[in-house]
Amino acid sequence: MKTMAFDLADDVFDSGDFLVVRFAKDTQRIPLKEIVNVKYSPAMSPPRVVLFLHAPGIFGKEVAFSAPYNPLPFVKSPVISALIKRIDTARSIE
């Protein structure tokens, strides 16, 4: 459970060109261009997203959160797929 659910962020908000991540009372703003890689596992329960950051933030070099609910099992979330495309675009602008 520790590696599957206890490390998940409490909230992740999409604010356009950055994400706001909250664990308890702590929050961090993560620009999309600072995300090096995204690992998305739709087959896990809950579906899991891990962001790998260029430089460690207050939560470390990796931030994990649960993907939005998708009623179709094992199907990629269109929200996460769109986020991955936006991250790729943000990195290529640099």
Q: What is the pTM of this model?
A: 0.87
Per-residue pLDDT tens digits of the chain, which is 94 residues long: 444 557 899 999 999 999 999 999 999 999 999 999 999 988 887 789 999 999 999 999 999 999 887 777 777 888 999 999 999 999 888 6
Q: Check: CB of residue 39 under 8 Å from CB of residue 65.
A: no
73: its two tokens: 């099992």
Give the closest residue to 35 by CA, choosing from 18, 52, 49, 15. Answer: 52
For domain 2-93, give its CATH number from 1.10.10.10, 1.10.1240.10, 2.30.29.30, 3.30.565.10. Answer: 2.30.29.30
Q: What residues does 14 pair with on adjacent strands? A: 19
Q: How far apart are CA 77 and CA 71, in angstroms?
A: 10
